Chains A and B, each alone.
Chain A
Amino acid sequence: MVIFSIDMFKRISNFIEMKSKISKYKTILCVFLIAVISVSNSLAEEFTATVSSPAVSVGDQVQITFSLNANGKNFKAPSFPDFNVLMGPNQSTQMQIINGSVSQTLTFTYVLQANKEGTFKIGSAEIYAGNTKFLSNPISIIVSKASKQQSGAAQGQGGSNPSASVEGGKNVFIKAKIDKSNVYQGEGISVTYKLYTKVTLLNYSVNKLPSFNGFWSQEINMPQQLEFRNENIDGVNFKVADIKKVILFPQRTGALSIDPMEGEVIARVQVKRQQQQKSNDPFDQFFNDPFFSNPFFNNNVQDIKVTLKSDAIKVNVRDLPSGAPAGFTGAVGKFTCDISLDKKEIKAHDAVNLKIKISGKGNIRLIDAPKIEFPPDFETYDPKENVSATATVGGVTGTKTFEFLLIPRNAGNYKINVTPFSFFDLESKRYQTIPSSELTLKVGRGNETETTVISGASQTDVQMLGKDIRFIKTKDPEFSSDSGLQFNTPLFYSMVITPALLFVGLIFFKRKKEAMAGNVKLIRSQRANKVAMKRLSAAKKYLSSNEREKFLDEMFRALWGFISDKFQIPVSDLSKESAALALQQRNVPEPLINQFTETVDHCEFARFAGGLAESNESIYNKGIDVISRLESTLG
């Protein structure tokens, strides 16, 4: 009778999985053997904890099994603080009937994932079998740093034919070759990944393509099949094939590293297992026995999956020299530039295409559109870019076109200034500028109706547009001559100054008149005595000719005239009282005033009384006397 223990099988197979370097045949064989061995196991009650692998890497899964070879209850698992519990607890029960006696096994399984490095202890789980409490044995798991080879190896088991995976070494390797390691920013670097082998390769695949951080890459098309050629390296013949060719354009300066490429090959090799796999596991040693390996299972040849990885390459990227011209838009290499307008003469609101065609060798895809100054009343759109480029090991050549669609909105002759295209010439290590002629565009008048729409009239303006202008003036015009009265002209100034002059003249005239008037008084006063004397002499004449009336008249005039002249009192206003008052004001002594009035009285009396009065001669003498006295008093 064959006794079959699933539990044992699992445990063993776990071991096998962990080692994973034994073929399927062996696994089956192993299961048989273990089944045989397990017969010897004693049946005493035991609660044990087992781990699928005592040493794992971070990220690996590990299975922990707690098993009791009896019926149990109240299972209490330990905590797994340093692991992620991916699965579990999964409970399973196995019944065994051996020669009539029944034995059963209760197992709890956890699948854990290691998530950090270190040695971790998993505590005891407890379970009750009947009334007895059992504690499992603590286990420790060593979690080591994750390594790519291991994960790669784990993948390798997937089910492909070769069950072993090794890293590439001296016999098979990938090497990246660059044509230059010291470049300018934007200068193309040709990178070739080559596969070197001394052994026969059955298959080749790329595991990880380099990401080329900091570079812009342009891949070179490769044939589907690898083409091997012979190459001698340090006296050893290798078969070499190019796997991948790429042109890289560094996008920033400094030390950049070109990522390694990872690939996988299946190599047919003759393997000596003993050396390869040394293990403490007694089973492994058993299987690795030459008896197993050599005659029956393979003919000394094995297909091995080999993971390959090229070295990272450092590239030093220099910045382009300073002093880039205005038209430099990142072009590095050697280019020609052609700028053209598809029409030279258009109507307003028609579209015109401005085409800039840059062709040459270099980082053609990375060139930005040259700067163009469009006249402000052009409607412009973002350029349409078009690139056709082919990459060879020598570099990338091709053509890039920028097409600008322009719609001039107004008539006129326009100039379009395109900043001359410049590039950095790698041969001369200098910037070069391709001169461009000025583009001129003649825009004729477009449709008038369109203009009103475009002119940007606001809502109110549009309403205004509906209105027509007012009709012409039909009244006879008043012709105005440009000459005539104007501000700031001599005529104007003369007109303004005239009233001022008149005013000044008026004032001057008035002053003079006043001054003149003043003089007359003085002269009259000065001449008063003379006039009086003249009159008196005239009176004397009449006296001698005995013309009494005329004599008295002259006497009156002499007396009154003297006072009138002296004091500027009009004759009409004169009276004896006013004359006396005027004389008093001039401090003429009282007797003299009296004498004057008396003389006047005498004259009057003589006039009216005729011969009854004093003689004319006495009146005359009195008159002469009083006038001369007054004259001397008044000065």
Chain B
Amino acid sequence: MKKAASLLFMLVLFFSGFANSAEKNPLNTYHEANMAYQKLDFEKSIKLYEELIQNKNISASIYYNLGNAYFKNGNFSKAILNYERALKITPDDEEVNFNLKIASLKVVDKMESVPEIFYKKWINKFAAFFSSKTWTILLIIFVWFLFTAASFYFIGRSVRIKKIAFVLMLVLLFISAGTGIIAARSNAITHIDKKGIIMSSSVYVKSSPDEKGNDLFILHEGTKVEILDNLNNWNKIRIANGGIGWMPAEDLTII
């Protein structure tokens, strides 16, 4: 009797779970959103994509498509935000980069970015090849290889094996160190360095985190800023040309 009850319970659980997954299958929602986009019903596709993201279905494609839908709907700042989010997952995606470039043309603020030091530029370029996760996995794999080679060097009985292991060890040490630096940078870009997109049509950037602060400059929607600090709903930001100031946090959405 007890056995039968538990079996029944499991069956119910299974079916309910199945039904649930059928109703909220992210893939179905995704296809539905894509269909809406193709039928030029951008409002609906935006709603569906946003729903997917709210349900923690994170994907570069969803961000990219959502960005496209916002772009077509005329909301360029949100388009830029979602392209940037997609780039966080797939930094080297050509289509995302292309669309981001087009959307950025609609941004009012045009500024010369402060040039980076050459090695930083190189590291950033490398970091953009893979996602932060990929870089981390690569680093771990190389570290494993490194210690394998080291083990062979120490255990190896014949001189030939020891020699090969030693050379491998050196090469892997070098590669791991490089991968480690890039992985750290990639992680910083994705997780630590907070960037944001300005969402209100124009916002005064102040010298101090309060309304009475002096106005330093005005930023407009779609501009990407780096968030340096946060204090009482005020964000300390830095813009591409190096200008630093405070702005209300609500005018900004973190990428």
Contacts and interface: CB of A to CB of B under 8 A. Distances in A.
A470 B37 CA distance: 13
Interface string A483-513: 0111110001001100110110011001000
A478 B59 contact: yes
11 contacts: A377-B218, A377-B220, A411-B201, A464-B105, A469-B71, A469-B72, A473-B61, A476-B30, A480-B59, A485-B133, A486-B187
Interface stretch (B2-10, B144-152, B160-168, B224-232): B144-152
Contact of A410 (B102, B136, B202): B202
B24 interface: no
A280 interface: no
A474 interface: yes
B120 interface: no
B56 interface: yes
B183 A487 contact: yes
A456 interface: yes
B218 A376 contact: yes
A553 to B, nearest CB: 37
Contacts of A25: none
Interface residues of B, number: 60
Contacts of B203: 412
B173 interface: no
Interface in A413-444: 413-415
Interface string B47-69: 00000000011111110110011
B246 interface: no
Nearest to A502: B147
Interface stretch (B11-19, B93-101, B234-242): B93-101
A487 B59 contact: no
Nearest to A504: B147
A455 B104 CA distance: 11
B202 A499 contact: no
Given A471-B68, A477-B62, A485 B187 contact: no
B56 A503 contact: no
B103 A469 contact: yes
The DSSP consensus for interface residues of chain A is: loop
A456 B187 CA distance: 35
B185 to A, nearest CB: 10
Given A451-B106, A469-B98, A470-B99, 10 more contacts: A377-B108, A377-B202, A412-B200, A464-B102, A469-B99, A473-B95, A484-B133, A486-B133, A503-B147, A510-B154
Given A375-B218, A448-B74, A487 B61 contact: no
Given A410-B202, A456-B110, A506-B151, A473 B65 contact: yes
Nearest to A489: B136
Which 3 pairs of residues, A with B, have the shortest CB-CB distance? A412-B202, A487-B187, A477-B59
A499 B151 CA distance: 10
Contacts of A414: 202
A415 to B, nearest CB: 8
B143 interface: yes
A470 B93 CA distance: 12
A475 interface: yes
Contacts of A484: 133
Contacts of B217: 376
Interface in B177-211: 183-184, 186-187, 191, 200-204
A481 interface: yes
A461 B105 CA distance: 7
Contacts of B37: 472
B59 A500 contact: no
Contacts of B26: 479
A330 B186 CA distance: 60
B247 interface: no
Nearest to B131: A480
A482 interface: yes
Among the interface residues A376, A472, A480, A492, which one has the most CB atoms of the partner chain B within 10 A?
Answer: A472
Most B C-beta atoms less than 10 A away, residue of A481, A486, A500: A486
Given A410-B201, A487-B184, A481 B56 contact: yes
A467 B61 CA distance: 21
Contacts of B107: 455
Contact of A473 (B64, B89, B106): B64
A482 B147 contact: no
Interface residues of A, number: 50
B170 interface: no
Contacts of A455: 105-108, 110
B154 A499 contact: no
B201 A481 contact: no
Contacts of A522: none
Contacts of A496: 139-140, 143
Nearest to A496: B143
B130 interface: no
A488 to B, nearest CB: 6
A619 to B, nearest CB: 43
Contacts of B137: 485
A499 B147 contact: yes
A472 B108 contact: no
B186 A487 contact: yes
Nearest to A452: B106
A457 interface: yes
A376 B218 CA distance: 7
A465 interface: yes
A107 to B, nearest CB: 88
A488 B148 contact: no
A495 B154 contact: no
A380 to B, nearest CB: 14
Contacts of B151: 502-503, 506
Contacts of B191: 486-488
A486 B6 CA distance: 40
Interface string A364-378: 000000000001110
A343 interface: no
A445 interface: yes
B64 A472 contact: yes
A497 to B, nearest CB: 9
A123 B201 CA distance: 94
Nearest to B200: A412
Contacts of B201: 410-412, 445
Given A445-B201, A465-B105, A479-B57, A488 B187 contact: yes
A414 B183 CA distance: 44
A207 to B, nearest CB: 60
Contacts of A413: 202
Contacts of A467: 102
Contacts of A412: 200-203, 218, 220
B133 A480 contact: yes
B155 interface: yes
A487 B185 CA distance: 10
Nearest to A475: B61
Contact of B147 (A464, A481, A500): A500
Contact of A486 (B102, B132, B147, B218): B132
Nearest to B148: A499
A467 B98 CA distance: 11
A174 B66 CA distance: 90
Nearest to A470: B95
A476 B27 contact: yes
A506 B155 contact: yes
A424 to B, nearest CB: 28
Nearest to A448: B74
A29 to B, nearest CB: 92
